Structure 1
Amino acid sequence: MNRDSGAPGSVPLESFRTEGGRPRTHPLELTLLWLVAAHLVFLPWALGTMRLWAQIPSLIAAALALVLALLPRTYTEAYTGGPAFKLYAFPKLLRFPIFWLGLALLGLVTLHGLNPAWEFRTDGKVWWMQGIPHIEWLPSGVRGPFERWGPWRMLMIYAAGWLTVCAIWVGFTRRRSLQRLLLVLGVNGIVLALFGIAERLTGAKKIFWFVTSPNEMFFASFIYKNHAGAYLNLALAIVCGLGGWYYLRGVRRMEKSNPSGVFAFLATCIAVSVLVSYARGATLITLAYMAVVVGAFVVHQWRLPREVRNPLIAVALLVLFGLFVKTGWDSLNADRAWERLQRAVSGQDVSVEARQIASRATLDALEKNWVGGIGAGSFRFLFPVYQQNYPDIRKRNGRGMYWEHAHNDVLQFPLEFGVPGMLLILGGFAYWGVALIRSAFWQNPVSAALVLGAILMLVMAWGDFVFQCPAILITWCVLWVFAVMWARFEESRRG
């Protein structure tokens, strides 16, 4: 019997359910699971995948994952508990809207590279951009050194994210595979958080204590502390989602104990690490996220029947985590982080003011290039044209300022992609949104936690360039497919 791989809850997945217990996971799916896990774990530890030496293996791993996901699988009675059949994933890939939207977006980026309107020139001392002939009615980009990014470099990063999302969508047929991968990412996040705290405690001057950072504002394995804080917030969403799922499962099964308390403790560790990273935007996002999670927990406790409700446990957990946060605050000099956060909120921080001015300059560029955009990865090459109109962001301490990014992804992406690219991106958002609503994602904690974390990352992107970091971008994209697939698996179980 031949079958194609449908969405979670379709006929092939029903065949996996046996009355004798949990069915075994197919070896190809297990191999795919560990390949994707290794790839996603690698991303943050490779300096956030901001360097070419990390982006190349990332692309290779993503491509191998999709190839592995598309291999036909033979399911024998040992894996189904019923009739054997062969599973083909390729038809499911062709029915996946994100596959086509992503393919079109990659085609647009390729066009940016093939139709450059500007060329990088240098005399060895200074550089400038020279206008060159191009097809004016087509979207265009820049031609520059590969090591300075530009369309071709961005094509690698976007392709890695697209391939990974497609591989997970067509290759994972079991909720248990998603659960395992989320556990791996959650553990990776807590290890990263503890590593960052260790750097702070030892006063490390270099990443890993031996890798020189291009700036002093690094944290954990990330060159830029705000990127570290943003990634840790994604890990926080994963840990909170799993903790909520284990907690509700324990209540439903009337278990005497479950791992939810451990996950709550780990979430607190991650929150403390974000605080001591001195990443102000990430700290605000963490505070907002934790406030929603704690509020949801209190509401759930209040709505439980009296015979099930146990307020003493809830109070004990809150007190315990409060003491832990206080201990971390005192031992890690978190007062400095809080002072920086207060200056940012009150508008007294010079760097925040500079970003606001840069956003205005980016908006000027967007008003002139909103139709076709300037090309993926082209901001750093063309922004000086608009930067010169704002003296406050031209120089600092007598030295010229070079803006690689707008520190505002909500403006930079439309500037680089124009109307065609943004329609494709918004189309992807629309698909995920409809799929989540149809699956009632708010009814299960994993999907709800992941969606909340992903949305708050968009809020953070208004004041920083979080999505210019491949580790964050790819992981963030993966959270959406996790949220949808988990919601559908839960829906099929309820049905």
Structure 2
Amino acid sequence: MALLTALILAYCLISALNARATYDWSTGSLIYRDCLRWLPHSYDAPSTWRAFWNYLALAAFFWSLRDWLLGRTATEARNFQLTSSDLCPPSSVLRPSPSTLLPPSSLAREVASPTSPGRPSSFVIRHSSFSLPSRLRWLLWLLSLNGALLAVEGIAQRLSGTNKLLWFMPTRLNREALSQFGPYAYRSNGAQYLNLIWPVALGFWWHLRHEARRRRTATARRSAWLHHLLLPCILVTAAAPIISTSRAGAIVAIVLVLLAGGLLMFAMRRRHPLTRFFTVLFLCAVFAVGAYVGGDQLLERMGEFEVNFAGREASYDMARDMARDYLLFGIGPGAFAPMFQFYRSSLDDYWPAQLHNDWLETRITFGWFGCALIALAFLANQARAFLPGGLAIRWPLAAFIWLALAGCLLHARWDFPFQIYSILGLFVILCAVLSSFSVRPTAAP
């Protein structure tokens, strides 16, 4: 993954340094210069430089977050030292133990294993407990509560009828209240952000619930109910994309709710039927809340689907011509907006800053070569969860994170989530979390 990260950044850097042109916004023309055509090159150097610095920041954020998640808090480090000193006999205290390399989630599973007389004890791992480390808990709680607060703010703003973001910020584009949601001037971006959060929060709730059932101490039982505070957060966050009246956001949310229900039913297949019934009832409540608050407006917008989609298809046709003309290296990361105007048949044609199709826009800006690097990096990130050495977790939590990422990738076919830095940053956070995991399929729910 580190090599692929470096290659993607190098690809963007070479495109900026080896730029073929710079777009002049005052004249609407390209200022050409010499470049090495067999290397990646951009047709708007300033845009590609901005993209490079943004991607560099995201790469640094990804690796620093992953390193932070794999580390231990002071309490975990102290508990680990106490556990090691209690379990190791005097003859082996000074010997290096493989357990010192274990991630923090393995602390609760280290036990002394008797060996033959005269030999030091060794450590084995039991898979009966998969407790999340403190740092990962903090991060998932933060994401869940942040998503709930954003959803509540977006719903309240929509019900108030204001056309100002957060009730005080006017917008240059999308000035109608129905076009906005929360702090986003474009309602679909708000739906995309929330659809990335609530499946993760649902998987987090399931994991905490499973941990609570295994606790035996009185103190643990008294605090076991705290994870149920996530349920109202999940309810409002999952209903908000429907309330936003984003058509693609609502469709993705409905698909994710159905798939999440299937995952929960499978994960709870050995639980009491009443537990599964209340789980289904909770998921139905998501649809009920969304339909009650925003159902009428959403249905009205669904009736305009064919008209609006026809306009986007016209833009897609022009964009496909761009993809064919710049097949290998593309036009340069971030250079879509200035270059699209040259493919319009008339000045009256729509000139979008984003294509509303991130799959096609990425192919246009990065070319097939750059897209291959991005795809390999993403697949390597997902495959890391199946390798040993990370935080040991049960499969449902990873499955819900994969579900959230898949929903965002699906939405990217009809919109531009990856052109919005906050959404791309959240996507990177979830990828960093996944890259710190080691999914244990042997741990049955």
- Report the TM-score, using the length of structure 2 for normalisation: 0.76
CA contact (8 A) 2:41 2:331 kept: yes
Residue 337 of structure 1 pairs with residue 315 of structure 2: no
Displacement after TM superposition at 1:371 (Å) = 0.9
Q: Is the 8 A contact 2:44 2:332 kept in 1?
A: no
1:321 to 1:358, Cα distance in 2 relative to 1, 3 A:
same
Q: Distance in 2 between matches of 1:168 and 1:271?
A: 26
Q: Which amino acid aligns with 1:279?
A: S
Once the two structures are superposed, the pairs formed by residues 349-428 of structure 1 within 5 Å of their partners are: 350-388=307-345, 395=348, 400-428=349-377
Residue in 2 that maps onto 1:486: 437
Q: Establish whether residue 247 from structure 1 lines up as the match of residue 196 from structure 2.
A: no
Structure 2 counterpart of 1:476, from 408, 427, 430: 427
Contact 2:151 2:182 in 1 (8 A): yes
AA paired with 1:410? W
**Partner in structure 2 of residue 132 of structure 1:** 33
Quote the residue 2:18 is aligned against.
115
Asked whether the 8 Å contact 1:189–1:232 carries over to 2, the reply is yes
Partner of 1:280: 247
Instruction: State the secondary structure of the residue aligned to 1:487.
Output: strand
Over 3 Å counting, the alpha-carbon distance change for 1:163 and 1:280 in structure 2 is same
1:225–1:278 contact (8 Å) kept in structure 2: yes
Shift of 1:177: 0.8
AA at the equivalent of 2:148 = I
In structure 1, the residue corresponding to 2:250 is in which secondary structure?
helix
Shift of 1:192: 0.5
Alpha-carbon separation, structure 1, partners of 2:370 and 2:312:
24
Alignment deviations for residues 255-292 of structure 1 (CA, whole Å, 9 cap, x no partner): 69534543233212112211111111111111111111
Contact 1:243 1:259 in 2 (8 A): no
**How far apart, CA to CA, are the structure 2 residues paired with 1:121 and 1:435?**
44
Q: List runs of 5+ in structure 1 lacking aligned partners.
A: 1-96
For residue 325 of structure 1, report the CA deviation from its aligned partner.
4.8
> Is the CA contact 1:447–1:487 (under 8 Å) kept in the aligned structure 2?
no
Q: Which amino acid aligns with 2:29?
A: W
1:338 and 1:250 map into 2 onto residues whose CA distance is 41
* Contact 1:444 1:487 (C-alpha < 8 Å) held by counterparts: no
Separation in 2, partners of 1:253, 1:338: 46
Task: Decide which structure has the larger Cα Rg and report it.
Answer: 2
How many residue pairs match? The answer is 372
The aligned runs of 1:133-282 (5 Å cut-off) are 133-143=34-44, 150-172=47-69, 173=71, 174=104, 175-214=133-172, 215-216=174-175, 217-253=179-215, 258-282=225-249
Distance 2:225 2:277 in 1: 17
Contact 2:245/2:294 (8 A) holds in 1: no
Per-residue CA deviations over 1:361-387 (Å, capped at 9, x if unaligned) read 222211121112110111111112223
- Contact 2:355 / 2:361 at 8 angstroms: preserved in 1? yes
Is residue 141–residue 151 contact of structure 1 (8 Å, CA) maintained in 2? yes
For 2:373 and 2:286, how far apart are their aligned partners in 1?
45
The CA RMSD measured in Å over matched residues stands at: 2.7
Q: What amino acid is aligned across from residue 315 of structure 1 in structure 2?
A: F
Residues 403 and 323 from structure 1, CA distance in 2 versus in 1: closer, same or farther, beyond 3 angstroms? closer
Does the Cα contact within 8 Å between 2:144 and 2:230 map onto a contact in 1?
Answer: no
Check the 8 A contact 1:265/1:321 in 2, yes or no: no
Q: Distance in 2 between matches of 1:316 and 1:434?
A: 34
Structure 1 distance, partners of 2:193, 2:427, is 9
Give the residue type in structure 2 aligned to 1:337: L
Deviations 1:68-90 (A, max 9, x none): xxxxxxxxxxxxxxxxxxxxxxx
Taking structure 1 as reference, are residues 381 and 327 closer, same or farther at Cα in structure 2, changes over 3 Å only?
closer
Change in CA separation of 1:227 and 1:240 when aligned onto 2, cut-off 3 Å = same
> 1:327 Cα shift?
4.8
Gaps of 5+ in 2: 72-103, 105-132
User: In structure 2, do the counterparts of structure 1 residues 324 and 370 end up closer, same or farther at CA, with 3 Å as the change threshold?
Assistant: closer
Q: Deviations over 1:330-360 (max 9, x none)?
A: 3x3431113323543xxx2x22222222222
Indicate if the aligned counterparts of 1:246 and 1:258 stay in contact, CA closer than 8 A.
no
State the percentage of identical aligned residues.
22
Single out whichever of 461-470 and 321-330 deviates more from structure 2: 321-330
Give the secondary-structure state (helix, strand or coil) at the position aligned to 2:22. strand
The equivalent of 1:21 in structure 2 is none
Contact 2:384 2:435 in 1 (8 A): yes
Q: Which runs of 4+ in 1 moved over 6 A?
A: 490-494
**What is the deviation of 1:485?**
1.5
Range 169-178 or range 245-254, more displaced:
245-254
How many Å separate the matches in 1 of 2:332 and 2:214?
52
